[in-house]
Copies of this chain bind each other. A is one copy, B any other.
Amino acid sequence: MFRETHARSVMKAVSWRVMGTLTTSALVFVVTHKFALSLAVGAVEFISKIGLFWLHERAWDRMRYGKEEIRPVVVWFTGLSGSGKSTISRWVADQLRTRGYRVEQLDGDTIRHIFPNTGFTRPERDAHIKRVGYLASKLEQNGVFVVASFVSPYEDSRQFVRGLCGRFVEVHVDTPLAVCEQRDVKGLYAKARRGEIKNFTGIDDPYEPPSNPELVLHTTEESVEQAGGRVLDVVMRRIGKVN
């Protein structure tokens, strides 16, 4: 929610007045060739119009006309643990912020600390993704871009989230299991192989690849900037802007 302050209207009035009065004076001089007259008209105009401009600004601030609302997008990254979702989604979120948009980043790892009592069985994962999807859709409805990165292994629950959202861009970070397991940044694959973690996606729980994602990223072949750039292109096109 932004409202224009009185200070802004006054500053605009002054900045316009300087430009406007210089033009008027020049004009009067060109037409009449009388320097003193052009100065006199300029002086009176400067004083009288600054107040008028301020009133004009205040009146327009009340009007909605032409204040275009940008309908945001929910960008949903799905893929195995260690596929590179978080890294690319951070890059995309930063780029959107740079362009002046409101962005909320939702990440599987951080959100589980706040959304309590969420386990990793199929119904628990399902409920978790549906809740996160609801959160994303509420943010979207209120003008906020959402960049979400969740393993979100089940097609059903991703489709549910797509249904809740208005503009949904599903991005499959399609890094092969072998590569993710080799990277194993958090040591989770090792734990899952030892049986210390149950229901780990890719090991003893399935990953259902998206049937019709807006984008598929191949992190073994493209850099973060290349992959993120492709996502950004799709997002910007979706909101009717050229990237």
Contacts and interface: CB of A to CB of B under 8 A. Distances in A.
Given A8-B65, A53-B16, A138 B104 contact: yes
25 contacts: A2-B2, A2-B67, A2-B68, A2-B70, A16-B56, A19-B52, A19-B56, A20-B52, A20-B53, A23-B49, A23-B52, A24-B24, A24-B45, A31-B37, A31-B40, A32-B37, A102-B143, A114-B130, A114-B164, A115-B134, A116-B131, A117-B124, A131-B131, A142-B143, A142-B144
Interface in A133-191: 134-135, 138-139, 141-144, 164
B4 A67 contact: yes
Contacts of A115: 127, 130-131, 134
A27 B20 CA distance: 14
Closest 6 CB pairs of A and B: A8-B66, A1-B70, A5-B66, A117-B127, A142-B144, A2-B67
B72 A1 contact: yes
B49 A142 contact: no
A48 B134 CA distance: 52
B69 A49 contact: no
Most chain B Cβ neighbours within 10 Å, of A19, A52, A66: A66
Contacts of A242: none
Interface of A: 1-5, 7-9, 11-12, 15-16, 19-20, 23-24, 27-28, 31-32, 37, 40-41, 44-45, 48-49, 52-53, 56, 60, 65-70, 72, 101-102, 104, 114-117, 123-124, 126-127, 130-131, 134-135, 138-139, 141-144, 164
A121 to B, nearest CB: 11
Given A1-B72, A11-B66, A27 B41 contact: yes
Contacts of A23: 45, 48-49, 52
Most chain B Cβ neighbours within 10 Å, of A4, A23, A142: A142
